Structures are given as C-alpha cells and as structure tokens.
Structure 1
Amino acid sequence: MKKILLAPNPTGTGHNMRMLTIAKKLKTIDPKLEITVLLGSRQDVFTTLFQEADIKVVDLNPTGIIDFSQSSHLEKNLNWDSMISKYFVPTFFNGDKILHYLQLIDEQEADLLISDYNINASFAAVMAGIKTVFVTERHNFTLVDVKIEDLILGGFTVNQEEIRSAQKDLNRLFKWLVKSTDLIITDKLFLDSFESDKYLQSNLEKVHFTGSMYLEEQSKEKTLDFDYLKIDKTLPYIVATVSSTTMLAENKNKNFEFYEETFKVLKKAVPELQMVLIGASEKPQKAGGLIKLPYIPNWKELIQNSALLISHPGWITVTEVAYLNIPTIFYLSSFMEYHELEAYKRLEEVGTPVFSGYDIPEFCALIKKVLSQQVDFIAAYQKLTPTHNGLTEAAELIMKLIVNGGE
C-alpha cells in the first residue's frame, strides 16, 4: 500500500480545495491508497470535507483555526526586510516548518508528497529523498513575475535595488525547486509574453499543463438551501467574492465597500437585482437585496444560477468558472494585491473581462455589458481549460509516479 501525504499551501482555501479534488480522484483510481492531508488553514471547513472523502487529517494548528483573510501580509514599504525577512521566509521558506514537515514525512512513513504550492513541504520532501509532486497555478514565486513599476503604481514605496536582488534570488530558488521535483502539474496556460513560462516550457519532460482540475460530483452534491441563504432564486442575482488571502487587510474592506456602492447604483436601474457577497458575514444576512454570506466551499449551484460572478483572479476560481462557463468579471481592487496581479494580466491578455480600481460608473458599465450578453467568454475559456479532462490527466500522471516511480 502506498502512503501519500498532501500538503496544501495554508495561505488560501483554493489550495485545500484542489488537494481535496485530486485526492478524491486518486481514490477512485485506487481505493487502497492511504492518503493523509497536512491541513494548515480553514480547518473548520475542510477537516470534515477531507474526512468524508476517507482522507486522514493531520491538523498543523490544533490550537486554533487559521484564516489568512483576516490580516495583512505586507507593509507599504517594500524592501528586503519587509518582503523577504518578514514575509517570504516566515511564510514560504521557513526552516522551522521545513524541519516539521521532515518529521511528519518520517512519522507518516510517506512514499510520496503532493504539494500544492507548499514550498516548505516541497523542500522537506526533496531533503527526505521521497518522490515529490508540485501542483501549482504559479510559474514562479509571485514577486518574480511582478514589474517594479506595477508595485510603485499600486502604491508601494519600493527599494528597487533590494527588490530586484530579491527577485533574482527567488528566481534561482524556484529553478532549483523545478529541477529537484519529480513531477510538476499546472492548471495555468503558458503564454509567450511571460518570462517565467519559458523556463517551465523548457522542462516539459516533467512539467504538464492540464487546464482545470475540476471534479464533477453531481450525484453526491448537496442541494443548496436558498431560503436559508436568503436568496430569491426567482430574481436575478450577482455573486461577488474577495480573495481569501490579502496583502493589506484594508483592501478587503474597501473591496466589500466598493461592491456595496456599486450595487446601490445597479439597483436603481434593475430594482429586482440581488447581490450576494461571499465571505462578508459569519451567517446569512439580507438587507435591501444585499445578501452577506460566509465562505461556501461547494458553490457550484450558487454560481450556475447567478446572472454574473465578480471574483478576484485567484487561479483555482478562474479554472472552475472556465470549466463551468460562468460569466465572470475578474476584479482586482488594487495593484497592492500584487500576488494576483500576474493572473490579472494573464486574464486580460486571454480576453476575459477584468477590472481594477474603484471607479463605480465605469465598473457598472462593464457589468451591464456582461449582463446584456455583449461579451463572448467561450474563446477565452477554451484557452484557459482546453479540455474537461484535466483532473483525470493529473491523477494519471501522479499514479504513474506512484506505481513505477515515473519510469
């Protein structure tokens, strides 16, 4: 029996969901696989989901639930100290965490570790000498893919010499990770205009683009209780969400305020319209057509019945809506949320509707254009997820590594 460890990056709900999806698919191929997830965030939501899928859960934070949407991760002054010493090292390249993962690999007697952009776990697996899979929507560390000018435009005060040095060193570190990993699976399409894509494309013997790794489970999905959620299904509604990981907490608050002010304007033109804000409340609340909900892990029915989704450009959400053909505007509140800037620009190049900033009339004009079906999503979505077999392809690549070491 093969023992597999899942190590989702604990900085966002999407990493947990993608690991859950892959684990479920692996279990359908070989039910005897012994799979354990090292869960480091949103244990309140995901512990039960993994356990229901017959996945053992090791809670990395048993003393409390970790939710990275509730705090800032960066300062407005970007230099080596704020970016590397205070952010990158504690979060992604942490010696204490690497040693802890080494201990867990030994305790669990793991044969294979599947990391979902969990850099600490990937380094530990390489050091432990076990087979390693790196699942990622990023083709390099985020800072490497961002231009200094865009950071300045976003409002950061940038020590350009130190940040350029950090970009150079992080790029070298990522290339080492690619070289040392047995299999790399990405759901993000390659574009010639992005420098980081070129290096991954030069390693196609181990790097594979699958498109969306979405799991269809119609027979098992629970029907949403729209009455409990306070949503009138007979009337049109827009679903709006913000990132579960924010660089500056104030941006999340401004994001929700911007949505609410936008809704007030739209409501005047379309009185029956509703807006559903995901992650804006711990329990359903409704006032004047504005509905605030907690995070909903299985939101397929919600977005399929919506007139429009407004979402941050988190790539796991991108691939899901492309797979399901959901009309979506990808919104980035500020270039200070630099961790999603590369995805934003990639989506803009592909041809999906994107918007950044706080210009309400301009945003309303774009929303009305999408609602009146003046935007064609199909061509862009076909580029983002060219087939509906991405999950099967990813699982088969992993199974090949499990069965014969990738030979």
Structure 2
Amino acid sequence: MKVLHLPAETGTGHNMRVLAVATKLRELFPHAEQHVHLASKSEVFRPMFEAQDVRVHLAATERDHANTSQLGRSFDWHTYVSGYLDRTFISGDKMLRALALINETRPDVVVSDYNIAASLAAETAGVPHVLITERYDFTLGQVSNDALAAAGFDVTPAEVDAARSALTTLFDWVTRRAHAVLTDKPPVEELDLGTPVLRAIAAGNGHFVGPIVRDACAAEPAPRAEVDERYGLGGAPYVLAGVGGTAMFAANKERLLAHYLEAFGKLRAEHPDARLVLIGRQEFTEEIDGVVLLNYVTDWHSLVRHAHLVLSPPGWISVTELAVMRTPVAYVLSGRDEYHEIEAMSRLRLLGYTTVTEPDAQALLDILRTAFRTPEDFARTAEGAARIIAPNGNGAEVAAKLVAQAATTARIHREDATAA
C-alpha cells in the first residue's frame, strides 16, 4: 500500500491531523509506503513524520501564517480569490505541483487534508482520494455578507456572492468525487444544513469519525513534577493560553497577546501564586514575572492536562485534542474579522462551551476569575461539550482504516483492469 498525504499549507492543524493518520497507518500496516508534502512548519514536522518512516517532500517556500496578515479591509473577488485563496488553497501552480508529486510517487490513494488543489490533482491523475476536512463547505460558504460587513470588511456583494457560489460548487464536486469524506467536526443542523459534507454523510461516503488526533492526547500525562521542571512552574496553578496558527490580521494576534498579559497581571493581584504559560507562535526575548513565553509546543498534552484553565483559539485540531483530554477550556477569537473562525465559534457556543469574541483584558479577566473561583463550572461545561465532539475517543484509527480501504479498492481495480 502506498499513500501520499497532502495537507493544506496553512497553519499546523492540517499537518497534525495527517500525522495522526500516518502514525495509525504505520501501526496498522507496518509495510505501507507513505509520503507527505509539507509547506508549513516543516522544521518542526519533518522529524515527526520521519520518526514514523514517512518520506517527506518539502515545498520550495513556506509562509508564516501566524505572523502575517492574510486579508485587507476590502472583501471582493480580487482580494479574496486572487489575493488569498490563490496562494493558500487553490491555484494552477498548487494543483500542478501536487500532480507532479502524484506522478513521482505513484500512490494507491491520496489523502487530502482540506487541500482542494490536491483533490483536483488526484482526480486528474485518476487516483482515488480521501478528503479529510474540518469544514462542511469552503469557509465563505458558511459566512454571510452581513457577517463580513459586521466584522468591518468593505464587501462587494456581487463579487463575494459569485465567489461563494463557485467555491460551494467546487467543494460539492470534490466531496462527491472523493472515495471517502472524513470530518472530525460533529454536525450541527442549523449551521450545516445544505452543505456539501452533510450531503456526503447522507449519501454514505461521508463520515463523522470524531477527533483525528495523536494517541498521546488520551495517554496518561507526565507527572506534574516533570511539567514543573520543564517549564519552571514550581507547582503553582497555571493558565495555558494560545493565539492560533493562522491570522487574517496580524494586529489581532498582537492585541490578544497584550490583553492576555494585562488580564493575567490583574489576576496575579488576587492570586499571587498563579502562572501563565503563553504560546505566542513567535520568538520572545523579554521576561515577564510569572509568565512562561513559548513559541510553539508539539507535545503540549501534559501541559494541558495539568492546567487550571486553557484559553484557546478555535482552531479545530486544538478543539478536538482538548475534547479528548476533557480539558476545562474557554475559546477566544481575537477579532471578528478573523472570518475563517466565525463558524467554529458559533458551533462551539452551540455545543455549550464558554466563548468570547474580540475580548478586551476585562473580559478575559472575568473568565480567569470564574475559573479560579469555581473551577468545577468550567470542568462540567467542557465535559458535556467534549462528549459530543469526541463520543468514542480518538477517530484516527477509523480514518486510517478508511484510507487503507480506498487504497485496497484502487489496487483491486487496477489488477482487474490489468487482467482484462
């Protein structure tokens, strides 16, 4: 069996999800030949994939999506399609590069993690593909023009409507052509009715498999003493806060970092022993009393499991990992103009989580005070919502078996064609 993994190039969640599938495939099918193309945080992920004997192919260039703005204030065909989608998700260059890699590796199946260019390349090459997606449609398909205008964008309705219609048509075609469509996001009818993925689930080739995460999420955490030693926490209660891996506007991330620090400074006046572990997706040179500043942490599971509270952006791989770990969490969206997370925040709110959009320091302080005053409230809320997101624990094994099924089916068809 030969598998080519082609995760989308934005953020790190797509890499993490593919890593979980590749790891489970290696466990279930030790002799499988696996390849992956990396175009995001390859210096972090390359050794992680190579540890699973996955052959890594690197993009010629990479873009830091956490520290660069993706959009401007105008929202029209040029700024959104030409200026954003063309360099992140869909372009002739990306499709042809994916096609060249398919021709080079000759896989039995292509695994596309929300990489539409890869799905198109697989179809062109006549190779079955499995689509893994945390989106039920392209993001724009579930965000209205009114929501964009309310977020501060200058919307050109006719052009945005045309883009939305074209993208939904494309996504619908991709989901219908996929051997299997796997999602780690539980359906919510009022958000997903009429979407391509919900139609795929109804048609039988779509599957909600639950979280597609590494086994470490469900494993016993390292002892608190080891976490304290590694991060210098000294046994103190701590809050873990993050900013996310993709920002539409870099200023939103910087403002959120400042509000985290301001809110925590005020919390420390009431709880002097409290600590903050802040994952900021950048290199820090300053030192702040009571604050541990980190760039990025791949093995954050023990850090999460011992935290008093997690403040997390709504990136879905983080959501699923936190659900598996049954973590007390509040979800934070840095700005209303981070349009790509509006749907996720709506879903998380409907599932019962504590959510806050575009918070100032006072709003964050209110959440922190509640977590320190009545921690059982956050634990109870997170437990109920997590059972919906992760009803059967980790879905990586189900995903790996469906990928293997697609590869086996392709091989049988190929052998039948040769025999004929």
How far 1:144 moved relative to its partner?
Answer: 1.1
1:339 equivalent in structure 2:
340
Change (3 A) 1:196 1:127: farther
Give ranges in structure 1 of 5+ residues lacking alignment: none
| Structure with the largest fraction of helix | 2
Change (3 A) 1:278 1:166: same
How far 1:293 moved relative to its partner?
Answer: 0.7
Is residue 28 of structure 1 aligned with residue 27 of structure 2? yes
Deviation track 1:35-91 (CA, whole Å, cap 9, x = no partner) reads 011111101101111111111101112xx5542212111011111110111111232
Is residue 164 of structure 1 aligned with residue 167 of structure 2? no
Give % identity: 33
Is residue 84 of structure 1 aligned with residue 81 of structure 2? yes
Local SS of the residue matching 2:189: coil
Q: CA–CA distance in 2 between the matches of 1:351 and 1:311?
A: 15
Deviation track 1:97-121 (CA, whole Å, cap 9, x = no partner) reads 1111111100111121101111111
Q: TM-score, length-normalised on structure 2? A: 0.91
2:383 equivalent in structure 1:
378
Question: Quick one: which amino acid aligns to residue 20 of structure 2?
Answer: T
**Which residue of the other structure, out of 132, 136, 141, is the alignment partner of 2:133?**
136
Q: CA–CA distance in 1 between the matches of 2:384 and 2:341?
A: 22
How far 1:229 moved relative to its partner?
Answer: 4.9
Deviation track 1:297-355 (CA, whole Å, cap 9, x = no partner) reads 11001111111110100011101101100111100011111111100000001100101
How far 1:198 moved relative to its partner?
Answer: 4.7
How far 1:287 moved relative to its partner?
Answer: 1.9
Q: Is the 8 A contact 1:285 1:291 kept in 2?
A: no
Local SS of the residue matching 2:299: coil
Higher relative contact order (CA 8 A, sep 6+): 2
Change (3 A) 1:24 1:116: same
Change (3 A) 1:223 1:403: farther
2:52 equivalent in structure 1:
53
Change (3 A) 1:227 1:276: same
Q: CA–CA distance in 1 between the matches of 2:327 and 2:84?
A: 34
Local SS of the residue matching 1:330: strand
Q: CA–CA distance in 2 between the matches of 1:14 and 1:200?
A: 19
Question: Quick one: which amino acid aligns to residue 326 of structure 2?
Answer: N
Is residue 119 of structure 1 aligned with residue 124 of structure 2? no
Give ranges in structure 2 of 5+ residues lacking alignment: 414-420
1:150 equivalent in structure 2:
147
Is residue 399 of structure 1 aligned with residue 417 of structure 2? no
Q: CA–CA distance in 1 between the matches of 2:212 and 2:58?
A: 25
How far 1:362 moved relative to its partner?
Answer: 2.9
Q: CA–CA distance in 2 between the matches of 1:391 and 1:397?
A: 10
**Which residue of the other structure, out of 91, 96, 109, is the alignment partner of 1:94?**
91
Is residue 4 of structure 1 aligned with residue 7 of structure 2? no
1:240 equivalent in structure 2:
241
1:388 equivalent in structure 2:
393
Q: CA RMSD in A?
A: 2.2
Q: CA–CA distance in 1 between the matches of 2:309 and 2:129?
A: 39
